[in-house]
Chain A
Amino acid sequence: MLTLPVLRWGEPYESLEADEVVHFATGEPIARVSRASGGLIQRDLRKAARARAALCAIPIDELIARAGRAGELYMHATLPMGDRTQSPDAFVHAQSASTGLPERMCRANMKKNAFVLAEMRRILTALTRGLDFDVLTRGHGEERQVPVSYQAQSPVLGLVLPSNSPGVHTLWMPIVPLQVGLVLKPGPQEPWTPYRMAAAFFEAGIPREAIAIYPGQAEVGAAVVDSCPRSLVFGGQATVDRYRGNPRVQAHGPGFSKILIGDDQVDDWERHLDVMVESVFANSGRSCINCSGIWASRHTKAIADAIARRLAGVRPLPPEHPEAALAAFTVPGVAEAISAAIDRDTQAPGVTDLTAAHREGSRLVTEGRAAYLLPTVLHASSPGAAVATQEYMFPFVTVVECPQAKMLEAIGPTLVCTAITCQEEFRRQLLDAVHIDRLNLGPVPTTQLNWLQPHEGNIVDFLFRARAFQSAPLA
């Protein structure tokens, strides 16, 4: 069996304790992953400054070039993976086997990561708003005849990564070119991307001491967050709530992303059905940018019914099937619990399950150890229903009937909002709504990202502080 060590600033360390990564359907062990501990991380993080020093010795322009090479290697090369090597196909197969994500989605996520690495220069130029990269290295400089100074807030970025969506890895691709080291805690079922990406970076000439990988249990994630002055954490709503207001931590959780249809467009809702279906269904509904709520003042039952019809034929397929579109739930009992929760949701007044009429059999499909939830579309006749702002980790959406005037007040925190309206006043209100993070005006799927734009806060602003800086010559 493949064994993956802890990576202590690029150096493998085989722990006496390990966790097994198993195949989601068969339970067969795929890899044995060394388990780090809190004390080990605390001790290693004493040397975090070396990671940034090693990266600062290489100009950002050169790091961007090496990141591009790393992207090529990540996509096409056979790379070291623990005590063996792994081809791109084997990587996809392993990732699918442990996460339950269909192989074609794993390949699509791979392309996303490689795209971000290939487009690093444009992305960093966008995220730094055209800043001369040397300013970040030197810490000060001049832009448009004005002195500027940017101070790195941490020599490394800690990442507590999830297992459920390999797509989130794009968020940390720009870190190394920004001359900040990486401290990665992989998701228990998705160690593959961190290790493969680290191997690609090393082969492309990124210093080994710039990257640490600490697999392990909850204690490890806590130690990463405690020990790194800046961290990105992925988790549920409880995780987001725990770190709210903590300037050291950017917590990513459920997105509660939505599509709002304005009164001026709602009578033509059928024109936007493709956008709605894609927003709900892409990436098997696993992402925070998947749409979990569609809000309109009328035609909502018809909208829900149309989406339900479109998705009614979706069935689990083997992960290697070219048309597989549903991801499996890999943690026993989770799919059952979610399905039961939805059944409870539909008991509320005014809430109906529109998919039930179009689907043969149950929402929950179990195949061996694996469980799937078939796409589910609910209708809520009022925004007061609890399920109106609910999100589940599969293709699930509630179509909510709500007067346009009450929408912004009722939608709650929304990561991506696609607003289909031409009404200037409504568009102005949407632009001003501080509980909306990413705003799409017009029929843009919530899942469509522009990589040149920030996601849940600009990572450059999170890592670098703009400050005053003056100097005078010494006689």
Chain B
Amino acid sequence: MKITGPSLRIAAVGALILTILTGCGSSEEEKPAGEALVGTFQLDPGHCDAKGATGSYFRMIQPGGTVEKGGYFLNPDSKCPDQSYSVAIAGTDRGLVTGTFQPGPDPAFNARGDALAGQITRPGTFTAIKFAISTQSVDPGTGEKLPAPEVRNDDGKLSGQLTAWTAAWNNLYFNQGSPKPDGTTEGLTSPVVGTYDEESGRFELSWSSTIEGGPFDRFSGNWHLEGTFVASK
């Protein structure tokens, strides 16, 4: 068969269209792996000893530090031998609920600046003032809309987004989610990762999140949650 000039041009245009279409296909957002776990991540209480902590806990890292080595902000109200650990105890909802928000009460603070939210964890004490966790549909700092927490299980490996995870203390809010509300992972912010045993429901989740702005600008929270997942009925 003889290939003519017009045929070549048609073939070239066809190849170009095919390339563009293929390109468009590959630029589509990848579907998140695994299935969404919708329900309550019921928290084990945190315990600590001379070696560190187990269960659910939180550490605050000073600017310039690392998750592995610190330097850590020592919480004088922590009962742990290593006061960089502040352990958590499940709140009235027994833990983190995915697919919805746990915003806490309104007003969120008392006159002393103690944070009052107690659905996910009981308020803990941080340098004499209670701090609390909530998941907010709107970031109190920036006013941005936030997605409801999502955790996915891919064959025992957990991933997801906890962008709405918000700490409150001393009349202030600190976004402690990952990724951050603008979708980035600035500073020490690291993806939500963990493990899940489908039979027992046992899970571990951890992530870090760097604070942007305010008195603790560039400080980072390192979060570790452990417990049992119970699916919504």
A and B associate: no
B residues neighboring A (CB under 8 Å):
none
A residues neighboring B (CB under 8 Å):
none
